[in-house]
Amino acid sequence: MNSLNQVVSLLELSPPPFIFINDPIAPKFTIQSLLIALQNKIRLVQIDGISCFTPRLLYDTILNGLSQHTPSWDDGCKNWSEETSNDSMDSFLRALKALHASLCAANSEQRERLALVIEKPERLKERMPDLLAPLTRLAELTRIDLSVVLVSEVRWEDIRPPLGAAIDPYYVDIPVPTKEIIIEHLVKVVEKNSSNSDLASTSTMPHPYDPALQQTYKHFVHILTDVCFLYTNDPHEIQYISAARWPGFIKPVLDAHRMNVEAAEGEDEVEFERPSAEVLLRLTRHFKPSLSLALEQLYPRLTNAVDWARANVSDAASLAKDGLILGDAVMDDEEEEEDTVNEMLLSSPTRSRSSRRIQEQKAAQDLSSSNLKDTLPLSASLPRLSQFILVAAYIASVNPVKSDLRLFGRGADEKKRRRRPAKRQMANAKPKSGSVKIPQRFLGPSPFPLERLIAILGALVEENDSNASEVNDSRNNPSDLLDFRIAGERTDYEVTRVGVYASIAQLTSLRLLVRTTSADKLDGLSAMFKCGSGAPSSYETILDLAKGLGVPLPDLIWDNAAMG
């Protein structure tokens, strides 16, 4: 960050009296980097514009920070000040001059340079607008070597005092942190924490932030940054997600070492070995999906890191499936070991996993396997509205668009327009020459727009569900306040409510409906769906649902002559 390095050089050599740093992405990261770079070089203090909500708090915080004085209960929580009080700007300026004089007297070899780093100065403008202009002129008012640094997410033009009361700052724009800067920051934070005495390893059992795991943590940070960088560039947010997922990520390795230590009781001391590249690939494959989940729940603070980590602990079955149960659980049998190696090769990132993914999807989605249809039919497991949606989706998938008006159209006399019965071909009639048209149900379901599904659903509910137990529920229904005079108008209103769309989304998650368009594209096009594959979307299953709903499905299929 060249801009931040320029600020550090200015404060060390010839600081301007007022510096304004604009960082709309990560102001806390900028302040932390600034404090680390200037540590033991100049005397500075960090002030939070949120916590200092009165002038007295602001004055005492500045004086206590510059003098490195910490109030304690033994001396009555007294603040550092040679004045009787700091109730006004004049008394604060006199106390600040006295503090600088005492510091220069204590260190006569070099001149003391002071710096104030104020975070969220826009809060000072909201609560104490009269103090913002004097703070920018502290060096001029006190005649001491002092620099004021404001770090904010907003620009200086938005918080500048009126009438030119404040001096013009040395303006610095901080660019967006890159992946390399974020990774470097996260690794440095772990190195600093691992050197603390509280986290130092006192035995052969390492902890998640042990120095021996720094390379493994760097690998984890690379993966986490790739997942989160598209949505946030704030290193502190990524560090918060890392604190929630890293202990669970490294837990299988630590458990394996613990089992090896327990198995080697009375023998030589077992040294901790860093995870190999093979183990890192397994860990990455197992925990990478949970990183997106952590981002979705922790970045907007839907939960905290401790509760999320406790709720997302990997069970032994899933770890064993990915070959992460190590230590004593390692298989000794040669055939089992060969199967483990084959599974590891199939799941390697350098090998195509399309065949393995297809097999897993078939095992999870093929509801026709076993006798699931007999034990739990769709008519018993789905609500009535969802059954109507499945029947409407099947009709939309097998019928052409031109048949909708003929099958479900309604005239002004409220009579439904039905398709005339097809004429049967004589046995001795000559077949027509040309290509044979294959019915749509043999070609598979065709996609249809969401609006067409809603229209067919409304026609089915209007004609075959007189009670409308779920769609036209009269309890707390806002449609009761409306005046519907045209036949079918009430049903058209009800089928466009949120509950219908929620049922469609639920059927899509169950793979009974398949969305053919991408859900993240906002190009104005209608969402396209089609019936899912397998037994739940077959003609026989939909026919059973239609019979239970009282829907004459054979009369509503355009290719009913091919149904046999």
Say if residue 38's pLDDT is above 70: yes
Structure tokens at 412: 């002004």
Say if residue 337's pLDDT is above 90: no
Check residue 472 and give its pLDDT: 46
Candidates 1.10.10.10, 1.10.10.2450, 3.40.50.300, 2.30.22.10; CATH matching 378-413+439-563? 1.10.10.2450
Closest CA to 199 of 403, 253, 347, 191: 191
SS3 504: helix
User: Per mean pLDDT, which range of 127-136, 145-154, 506-515, 527-536 is the poorest?
Assistant: 527-536
Q: What is the mean pLDDT of residues 128-154?
A: 92
* Backbone φ, ψ for residue 148 (5° rounding): -110, 125
Confidence of residue 525 (pLDDT cuts 50, 70, 90): low
Check residue 432 and give its pLDDT: 55
Say if residue 483's pLDDT is above 60: no
Check residue 220 and give its pLDDT: 93
User: Per mean pLDDT, which range of 30-39, 263-272, 497-506 is the poorest?
Assistant: 263-272
User: Per mean pLDDT, which range of 1-5, 249-253, 419-423, 456-460 is the poorest?
Assistant: 419-423
Say if residue 24's pLDDT is above 80: yes
Check residue 334 and give its pLDDT: 37
Greater model confidence, 559 or 478? 559
Greater model confidence, 46 or 75? 46
User: Per mean pLDDT, which range of 19-33, 88-102, 517-531 is the poorest?
Assistant: 517-531
Asked if 33 and 54 touch (Cβ cutoff 8 Å), the reply is no
Number of neighbouring beta carbons within 10 Å of residue 116: 20
User: Per mean pLDDT, which range of 299-303, 346-350, 384-388, 395-399 is the poorest?
Assistant: 346-350
Render pLDDT for 253-305 as a digit per residue (tens, 0 to 9): 888 888 888 877 766 677 788 888 888 888 888 898 899 999 999 999 999 99
Greater model confidence, 442 or 339? 442
How is residue 325 annotated by DSSP? -
Check residue 339 and give its pLDDT: 46
Mean pLDDT (the chain) is 77
Question: Residue 170 burial (CB < 10 Å; 0-12/13-18/19+)?
Answer: middle
Say if residue 227's pLDDT is above 50: yes
Question: Residue 128 burial (CB < 10 Å; 0-12/13-18/19+)?
Answer: middle
Kindly give the residue spans of alpha helices, DSSP state H, lying in 128-270.
129-136, 138-142, 156-159, 179-194, 214-228, 235-263
DSSP assignment of 374-417 equals HHS-HHHHS-HHHHHHHHHHHHHHHS-TTHHHHHH-B-TTSPBP
Measured CA to CA, the distance from residue 319 to residue 338 in angstroms comes to: 18
Q: What is the mean pLDDT of residues 36-47?
A: 88
* CATH fold match for the domains 2-173 and 378-413+439-563: no
Greater model confidence, 386 or 191? 386
Closest CA to 295 of 334, 242, 345: 242
Q: Which amino acid is at 169?
A: P
Structure tokens at 409: 């159209």
* Backbone φ, ψ for residue 168 (5° rounding): -75, 135
Structure tokens at 228: 């989160």
Asked if 140 and 11 touch (Cβ cutoff 8 Å), the reply is no
- Contacts of 387 by beta carbon, 8 Å cutoff, 6+ apart: 378, 379, 545, 548, 549
Say if residue 18's pLDDT is above 90: yes
Measured CA to CA, the distance from residue 154 to residue 23 in angstroms comes to: 8
Beta bridge partners, 149, equal 19, 117
Confidence of residue 373 (pLDDT cuts 50, 70, 90): very low
Check residue 527 and give its pLDDT: 83
Check residue 422 and give its pLDDT: 46
Number of neighbouring beta carbons within 10 Å of residue 305: 18
Distances (CA, A) of 382 to 26, 74, 376, 468, 551: 48, 69, 10, 16, 17
Confidence of residue 351 (pLDDT cuts 50, 70, 90): very low
Instruction: Write out the H or E segment, with its range, that includes residue 513.
Output: strand 513-515
Instruction: Write out the H or E segment, with its range, that includes residue 45.
Output: strand 43-48
Query: C-alpha 46: how far from its chain's center?
Result: 31
- Contacts of 259 by beta carbon, 8 Å cutoff, 6+ apart: 326, 327, 328, 329
Closest CA to 123 of 38, 60, 53: 53
How are strands ordered across the β-sheet holding 528-531? 448-449, 528-531, 513-515
Check residue 431 and give its pLDDT: 54
Say if residue 338's pLDDT is above 50: no
Check residue 549 and give its pLDDT: 86
Closest CA to 471 of 366, 374, 372, 392: 392
Give the domain ranges of the chain. 2-173, 179-372, 378-413+439-563
How is residue 97 annotated by DSSP? H
* Backbone φ, ψ for residue 449 (5° rounding): -75, 160
SS3 152: strand
User: Per mean pLDDT, which range of 281-285, 367-371, 441-445 is the poorest?
Assistant: 367-371
The dihedral over CA atoms of 206, 210, 214, 219, expressed in degrees to the nearest 10, equals: 60
Check residue 372 and give its pLDDT: 38
Structure tokens at 111: 């001149």
Asked if 34 and 149 touch (Cβ cutoff 8 Å), the reply is yes
Q: What is the mean pLDDT of residues 502-523?
A: 77
Number of neighbouring beta carbons within 10 Å of residue 311: 9
Question: Residue 192 burial (CB < 10 Å; 0-12/13-18/19+)?
Answer: exposed
Number of neighbouring beta carbons within 10 Å of residue 214: 15
Helices (H) and strands (E) in the chain, counts: 26, 8
Measured CA to CA, the distance from residue 140 to residue 426 in angstroms comes to: 108
SS3 21: strand
The percentage of the chain sitting over the pLDDT mark of 70, rounded to a whole number, equals 71
Number of neighbouring beta carbons within 10 Å of residue 195: 11
Say if residue 562's pLDDT is above 50: no
Q: Helix %, strand %, coil % for the chain, to 5?
A: 55, 5, 40
- The distance in angstroms from the start CA to the end CA of the chain is 74
Asked if 549 and 387 touch (Cβ cutoff 8 Å), the reply is yes
Distances (CA, A) of 146 to 93, 242, 483: 12, 38, 74
Render pLDDT for 53-65 as a digit per residue (tens, 0 to 9): 999 999 989 998 8
Domain 2-173, classified CATH 3.40.720.10, yes or no: no
Measured CA to CA, the distance from residue 31 to residue 239 in angstroms comes to: 16
